[in-house]
Amino acid sequence: MKKDISGLEQTIEVTFENKDLLRQALVHRSYLNEHRDFPLEHNERLEFLGDAVLELIVTEHLYKNYPNPEGELTNWRASLVNSQMLAMIAEQMSIEPYLYLSRGEAKEENSKARNSILANSVEAIIGAIYLDTGYDTAATFIHRVIISKLPFILKNKLYMDAKSRLQETAQEKVGVTPSYKVMEESGPDHQKTFVVAVQLQDEQIALGTGTSKQEAQMNAAELALKAKGWLAQD
């Protein structure tokens, strides 16, 4: 059954000539496993196209507006087009109710898996906009929804990873470099879980978890930024 997407068109401020292109951008592969007679394909090809369009338009904007070295521009671009940013944008636009998901995916509470689906849907929507209404409309959408986040990202150095931000902020505010210590390691070799503490001198600020030491350190750093009130607010 095809969903009414008029509300989404209003949100993204794009009216499609081919409504099914926008619907296809919302079809997760899992949905077709349960609805084999559904007339549309899944969104992975549109996502492939949208990823390229997004990267080109963001790159063009950075190249034309900032004389910074390539390495800096690469980091800034990554902060705009990464899955965490795109998933946040999908949530802001309330895309999830329009998605075609299997019953299992609809109930999935794994935030990493859900964020991936949301991020991919934004790229697929960009691909659909590009095919339906052309480059200029896709560029307008990307500038309004994604590139508009850049000043906030630059002001708060969000192009840096959590560990780097914590280190720079801690050194700036309290003159201390954070240290990390593995507190716990569990599970079989192929599926380990690590618990890492981050400390400022002798004070433990946060505990992070992850499937690798690096992932656990990143998680601990992010939680430490929150605990110290050092996370930027948009």
43 appears as a binding residue in the annotation? no
Q: In this structure, are residues 132 and 43 in contact, taking their beta carbons and an 8 Å threshold? A: no
Rounded Cα distance, 209 and 51, in Å: 30
123 appears as a binding residue in the annotation? yes
Instruction: Tell me which of 105, 123, 132, 222 is the catalytic residue.
Output: 123
Rounded Cα distance, 79 and 140, in Å: 19
105 appears as a binding residue in the annotation? no
**Is 51 one of the catalytic residues?**
yes
Instruction: Tell me which of 4, 34, 51, 184 is the catalytic residue.
Output: 51
What's the angle, vertex CA 81, arms to CA 211 and CA 131, rounded to 5?
125
Q: In this structure, are residues 138 and 57 in contact, taking their beta carbons and an 8 Å threshold? A: yes
Rg of the chain's alpha carbons, rounded to an integer?
Answer: 20
Residues near 56 by beta carbon (within 8 Å), at least 6 away in sequence: none
Rounded Cα distance, 172 and 144, in Å: 33
**Is 123 one of the catalytic residues?**
yes
Helix 44-65 and helix 70-81: axis angle, to 10°? 140
User: Which residues are known binding-site members for Mg(2+)?
Assistant: 47, 120, 123
User: Which residues are known binding-site members?
Assistant: 47, 120, 123
- Catalytically annotated residues: 51, 123
